Amino acid sequence: MRSHRIGPSAGLPNLFFKLESANPTGSYKDRFAVSAISHLLASGKTHCLATSSGNTGSALAAACAAAGIPCRLAIVEPAPVGKLKQMLAYGAELARIRGFGLDPEITMRTFSRLRELGDRAGWSLEVSAFAVSPDGMRGVETIAFELEETLGSGLDHVFAPAGGGGLCLAIARGFEKSDAASPAIECVQPAGNDTMAGPLREGRDHGRKADPCSTDISGLQVPNLLDANEVIAACRRSGGNGHLVEDDFIFDCQRRLALEEGIFSEPAGAVALAGALQAAERGEIDRDSNLVCLVTGSGFKDDASVDRMIADTEAPLIELEEFGREFP
C-alpha cells in the first residue's frame, strides 16, 4: 500500500509498505513455515525441531498442527509473552533457554545442541536461515515475486529488517531469479544487534557477532552469524547498503505507523521504515525513488510494545449522559 502520510511528510512521495501481518499467524514467517513443513513431510520425516524468538515458532507450530506432527521449540530468553501464548495455543512444546538470544556463547551452544538433536532419524531442524533450512527459506523468496508483479521494474529500494538476515537474503535471491532488474536491497538492523548492517556499510565482506546483543526489538535479537556473510554479498550486488537504527526511533516509527497510516505493527515490523526515513534524512537515497518498507509482523505479537505506545491514554468508564460533552 502507498504511504498516505508518513511518506509525504518526509518528502518521499513514492513510499510503499508491504504488509506481511495479514498472513495466517500474523507475520512473513508463514511463508517459511509452510514451505519448510511441506518439504519435511515430503522427505518422510515426522518431527519438527526448531528455534525461535517468536514469529518462526508461531508459524511452525501452526503448520505442524495442520500437518498433525509434533513441534518442539527452543525459545530465546526475551521472547514476548504474546508470541509464547500463540505457540502454545497451536500445541507446540516450548523451552525458553536462559541467555539464548542475548549471549553469543550460549546462543552458539544452543544451536550446536539443536543440530545434534535434529540429526536423529525422522527429525528435522528448521531455522529461518538459508544456512540451516534452505527449502523453507525459498518460500520467503515469494515476497520478491509479489513486489515485482505489483510494482514492476520501477522499484528502486526495498528496506528489510534483519536479525539473522534470512529475509534480506531471500528477497535478494528472489529478485535475482526474476527477469527484471533488482532493486537495491537495504539491510536494516537495530544498533544493538549490528552483525551485518555495519560491516556492509563499512565495505567489509564478513559479519561480526553482537557481544552482547543489547537491542530490545523482539525478533531481531540474533547475536550470532547465520546468513550474515551471504546477506552482505547479496545486498552489495544489488546496490544496497546497511542501516543501523536506534531502538527509540524504531518504537517511534511503530507508533507513527499506527497513528498516521492505520498499520498495526510489532516493533520489528517498523525497523524498515526507520531505516528508510534515516537514509532519506541523511541524503543516502533519492527522495523521488520508489521504495518499499516491509512491515513484517502484527502489533498483536508484542503486547509490551503496544502498552508503551498507549501509555498516556485510557478508556474511561463513564455514564451515558457524559458521552459527547467534550466533543466540539
Mean pLDDT score, 196-219: 94
**Residue 21, domain member (yes or no):** yes
Range in 100-109, 181-190, 237-246, 306-315 the model is least confident about: 100-109
pLDDT tens by residue, 211-266: 888 999 988 988 888 899 999 999 999 999 999 999 999 999 999 999 999 999 99
So what's the pLDDT on residue 254?
98
Asked whether residue 91 falls in the same domain as residue 178, the answer is no
Asked whether residue 115 falls in the same domain as residue 177, the answer is no
So what's the pLDDT on residue 181?
83
**Residue 314, domain member (yes or no):** no
What is the count of structural domains for the chain?
A: 2
Claim: this prediction has a pTM higher than 0.75: yes
Q: How many residues does this entry show for the chain?
A: 328
pLDDT tens by residue, 1-23: 999 999 999 999 999 999 999 99
Are residues 38 and 61 in contact, defined by beta-carbon separation less than 8 angstroms? no
Q: What is the 3-state secondary structure (H, E, C) of the chain?
A: CECCCHHHHCCCCCEEEEECCCCCCCECHHHHHHHHHHHHHHCCCCEEEEEECCHHHHHHHHHHHHHCCCEEEEEECCCCHHHHHHHHHCCCEEEEECCCCCCHHHHHHHHHHHHHHHCCCCEEEECCCCCCCHHHHCCCCHHHHHHHHHHHHHCCEEEEECCCCHHHHHHHHHHHCCCCCCCEEEEEEEHHHCCCHHHHHCCCCCCCCCCCCCCCCCCCCCCCCCCHHHHHHHHHHHCCCEEEECHHHHHHHHHHHHHHHCCCECHHHHHHHHHHHHHHHCCCCCCCCCEEEEECEEHHHCHHHHHHHCCCCCCCCCCHHHCCCCCC
* 98, 133, 168 - which closes a domain: 133
pLDDT tens by residue, 114-146: 999 999 999 999 999 999 999 999 999 999 999
Asked whether residue 64 falls in the same domain as residue 146, the answer is no
Print the domain residue range for 62: 29-133
Asked whether residue 118 falls in the same domain as residue 148, the answer is no
Asked whether residue 167 falls in the same domain as residue 269, the answer is yes
So what's the pLDDT on residue 144?
96
Q: Is the dihedral of CA 305, 310, 316, 320 positive or negative?
A: negative
C-alpha pair distances (Å), 8 with each of 33, 107, 152, 251, 292: 36, 42, 22, 20, 14
So what's the pLDDT on residue 223?
84
Asked whether residue 93 falls in the same domain as residue 167, the answer is no
**Residue 326, domain member (yes or no):** no
Asked whether residue 92 falls in the same domain as residue 214, the answer is no
pLDDT tens by residue, 96-112: 999 988 888 898 899 89
- Residue 295's CB: how many other CB atoms inside 10 A? 30
**Residue 321, domain member (yes or no):** no
Asked whether residue 177 falls in the same domain as residue 270, the answer is yes
Question: Beta strand pairing status for 123-126 and 93-97?
Answer: unpaired
Q: What is the mean pLDDT of the chain?
A: 94
So what's the pLDDT on residue 221?
87
So what's the pLDDT on residue 107?
87
Query: What percent of the chain is predicted at pLDDT more than 70?
Result: 100
* 70, 105, 133 - which closes a domain: 133
Query: What percent of the chain is predicted at pLDDT more than 90?
Result: 85
**Residue 93, domain member (yes or no):** yes
**Residue 43, domain member (yes or no):** yes
* 116, 133, 150 - which closes a domain: 133
So what's the pLDDT on residue 45?
96
- Looking up residue 181, the CATH number of its domain turns out to be 3.40.50.1100
So what's the pLDDT on residue 295?
98
C-alpha cell at 24: 495466517
pLDDT tens by residue, 275-287: 999 999 999 999 9
How many whole angstroms separate alpha carbon 56 and alpha carbon 53? 7
pLDDT at 178 over 90: no
Asked whether residue 149 falls in the same domain as residue 252, the answer is yes
Asked whether residue 157 falls in the same domain as residue 294, the answer is yes
pLDDT tens by residue, 155-168: 999 999 999 999 99
How many whole angstroms separate alpha carbon 280 and alpha carbon 316? 40
Asked whether residue 18 falls in the same domain as residue 75, the answer is no
Asked whether residue 185 falls in the same domain as residue 160, the answer is yes
**Residue 119, domain member (yes or no):** yes
